Amino acid sequence: MPVKNYNKSELNKEMIINVGPQHPSTHGVLRLVMTLNGEVIKDTKPVIGYLHRGMEKLAESRNYFQYLPMVDRVDYLSSFFCSAAFCYAVESIAELKVPKRAEYIRLITMEFNRIASHLMWVASFLLDLGATTPMFYAFREREDIVKLFEDLTGQRMMYNFYTFGGVKKDLPEGWMTKALDLCKSMPKMFDEYEAIITKNPIFMERTKGVGVLSQEMAVDYAITGANIRASAIDFDLRKTNPYSVYNEIDFKTHLAQNGDSYDRYRVRIAEMRESVKIIEQALKQIPGGTPEKLKVKSVNCGCKNEDCEFCGFDAQLVGKKLNAAVFKPPAGEAVSMIEAPRGVITCYVLSDGTNKPVRVKWRTPSFSSVQVLPELIKGKNYSDLMPIFGSLDVVLPEVDR
Amino acid sequence: MTNVEKTENIVPETSNNIVIDEKFEVKHLDKTSDGIEVIDVSGDKLIELATYLKMHINTQFNMLLSVSGVDKSDCYEVVYHLFSTIFKKNLILKVRLNRESPSVESLCGLYSAANWHERETYDLLGINFNNHLSLERILLPKDWVGHPLRKDYVNNDKRLSWNER
């Protein structure tokens, strides 16, 4: 068979290829319509909406307590953050006070959830790059955290644990020692990842200087979370606009200077280490102490004093018991902002005084991350797509809601 | 970013800011339950006000977190959530639109983030954003009829079975 002689104009032709919607490394169902010139990406058009479940429409026909379990499904990897965002918004409309003990339990579970989510990200990111081993390491710890959640809530993924004004259950007996043990062992585990990943020449070659997100672009596209902190913008809501009891806890925000994929990896690893410290502090500071002691002491105390250490308001789990059938917050609106693993989740709730919300609007961080993707991969090789897209930590159910 | 750090880190309370009140004819609505300021502005002055708030050295609302539409019974409302990464402050802008032909100027030129958020608002509420780069559906399929988050929306799609409508 004669070999066809290609002339130059034929070789420079642009080609349109279609990545997804079902693709192993798009972390869900995302479709990218790409225009390639040889190996170089000229233009990208993301097509989203394959996972749209109408979360905002569903809120119209359900009352607040019926909508609460659905909220967990906005982002399945960080369910606690989504339900926290909704709870804080409704609490500020209804002016419900949350007891300190409940806030601490929320904080501990949220930080554990952040570690679990980041571990999942490490696993999938390295898998995108072709490294299979870190996945098994990461899932080992994730399993421990998920087991803790299973003890606490009875679920491994969609926890449905928070309620308006507090949390549904106290920590089970022995949970705090298990959590402390895990906190002690976890930094060593992170050292293990860093030993395989951080200085790995192949990993550094593929991620250093790739997908640089400049400060202007990050702010312009409203990128939040670890992605913006990798571009040296100090924007961490836990520090700047503290929401739960983060103002009582001493922790640092970690920044990186270059804004490339490698820095986004480093920020996330540092954040996991910081989360461990936060949890250790919170377990020490939690009002009432361990659940076993608290139970005995609150029974024996019985003083009915508001500021008692063992039976007062701050040692309770729910500030005010609500009747799910007749719960009607007053007319008003509230915006809650939560620093989730992927960025800022805002939940805008508008109430008109009936038992159903008029409007619930979710602002999810991955939505912005997908939007900035075409800018980041313009003019790069096709092989750079996954190091860049994977490093943004996109979860598709969160994009489509 | 360097010259920004030299300025004083003080945001004057916009509710006491006479410049904004007179120049852009805004109304200050009640604060939200968690204490975020809400400013009501007419659709014609929106771009000017947003530019002022983004560029002015004492406000610098440089991030558009989200755009959401609300169907009130007598009008449509577009709610802009602004954030300043320098002063860590929130602000909400509200624009009221009439029910017959809801349309407002797009903020695409000012914030790139507005592009997709406005497309989403158009998709779910049918609010037209003038001078938008490509105003088309984003979450729903292209051939979808109607805008689901409108309160008078009825789904009559023949492709769905009776219990899905």
pLDDT band at A5 (very low <50, low <70, confident <90, very high): low
**Which CATH number does the domain housing residue A121 bear?**
1.10.645.10
Is residue B15's pLDDT more than 50? no
Compare all CA atoms of chain B with the CA of A47 and give the residue at the minimum distance.
B138
Residue A399 lies in a domain: no
For every residue of A264-327, DSSP letters joined together read HHHHHHHHHHHHHHHHHHHHHH-TT-SHHHHHHHHHHH----TT-TTTSGGG-SBSS---TTT-
Is residue B7's pLDDT more than 50? no
pLDDT band at A24 (very low <50, low <70, confident <90, very high): low
Q: What is the pLDDT of residues B67-94, one digit of tens each?
A: 988 988 888 889 998 888 888 888 888 8
DSSP state of A397: H
Probe site for chain B from A58, A233, A238, A359 (most B CB atoms < 10 A): A359
Domain count, chain A: 1
Per-residue pLDDT, B87: 82
CA distance B131 to A16: 28
Helix axes A100-128, A79-94, angle to 10 degrees: 150
Mean pLDDT of A62-78: 87
Per-residue pLDDT, B6: 39
CB contacts of A220 in chain B (<8 Å) are 62, 111-113
CA distance A260 to A212: 4
Q: What is the pLDDT of residues B110-160, one digit of tens each?
A: 888 888 999 999 988 888 888 888 888 888 888 888 888 888 888 777 777
pLDDT band at B4 (very low <50, low <70, confident <90, very high): very low
CB contacts of B63 in chain A (<8 Å) are 219, 222
pLDDT band at A253 (very low <50, low <70, confident <90, very high): confident
Residue B165 lies in a domain: no
Residue B114 lies in a domain: yes
Share of chain A above pLDDT 90, in %: 6
Residue A195 lies in a domain: yes
Residue A361 lies in a domain: yes
Residue B40 lies in a domain: yes
CA distance A216 to B64: 13
**Element housing A124 (H / E):** helix A100-128
CA distance A270 to A255: 9
List Cβ neighbours of A234 (8 Å cut-off, separation of 6 or more). Answer: A240, A253, A255
Domain count, chain B: 1
CA distance A264 to A227: 6
**Which CATH number does the domain housing residue B110 bear?**
3.30.460.80
Residue A186 lies in a domain: yes
Residue A3 lies in a domain: no
Q: What is the ipTM of this complex?
A: 0.84
Residue B164 lies in a domain: no
Residue A349 lies in a domain: yes
Residue A133 is part of which domain span? Answer: 55-384
Q: Which residues of A367-386 are buried (b: 16+ CB within 10 A; e: fewer)?
A: bbbbbbbeebbeebeeebbb
Q: Which residues of A178-203 are buried (b: 16+ CB within 10 A; e: fewer)?
A: ebeebbeebeebbeebeeebeebeeb
Residue A180 lies in a domain: yes
Mean pLDDT, rounded, of chain B: 79
List Cβ neighbours of A92 (8 Å cut-off, separation of 6 or more). Answer: A334, A336, B32, B33, B34
List Cβ neighbours of A138 (8 Å cut-off, separation of 6 or more). Answer: A119, A120, A122, A123, A193
Residue B148 lies in a domain: yes
Which residue of A88, A344, A401 is in closest CB contact with B65?
A344
The residue among A198, A225, A205, A201 whose CA lies nearest residue A81 is A225
B81 at interface of A, judged by CB pairs closer than 8 A = yes
Residue B82 or A290, more confident: B82
Residue B27 is part of which domain span? Answer: 2-154
